[in-house]
Amino acid sequence: MNRLTSEELQAIRVRAEKASEGPWRLADTADGAWLLDGADMIIAGTFERLEDAIFSAHAREDIPKLLAEIERLCTGIERAINETSCDDTWDYLNRLLEGKETTDLPYRIGGDSE
């Protein structure tokens, strides 16, 4: 899986900010399930699958939460790197995230060999 770039994350953030206000909700009508925004305006309707309708309804709140969590984690990683004496921390973290490294290394980030 490819990692998201800063530009991709920013594009997602812009799309989320431009979307209709939430929370979004589903209205089950005789014509099918309709997705409504916070002002009860129709966003979309007649979903073929209920699961898709539920996913779409939650996207308005889920995407901003996920973006905030990504930002929190990146900030924490940057802070940890700035506070550590280990020169290859970024390389280690990248290898770990790509599944090319295990966490049972003979040393700890910011620490000496055991």
What's the whole-model pTM score?
Answer: 0.68
- Tens-digit pLDDT profile for the chain (114 aa)? 578 888 999 999 999 999 999 999 999 888 788 999 999 999 998 888 888 999 999 999 999 999 999 988 888 877 777 766 665 666 767 776 776 655 544 444 444 444
For residue 5, what are its two tokens? 């770039």
Cα dihedral sign for 7, 9, 10, 12? positive
Q: Which residues, at least 6 apart from 36, have a Cβ–Cβ distance to it below 8 Å? A: 24, 25, 26, 27, 42, 43
Is residue 24 a contact partner of residue 38, using CB atoms and an 8 Å limit? yes
For residue 77, what are its two tokens? 């990683």
pLDDT at 11 (0 to 100): 96
Q: Which residues, at least 6 apart from 83, have a Cβ–Cβ distance to it below 8 Å? A: 110
What whole-number distance in Å separates Cα of residue 15 and Cα of residue 99? 30
- Tokens 């812009």 sit on residue: 14
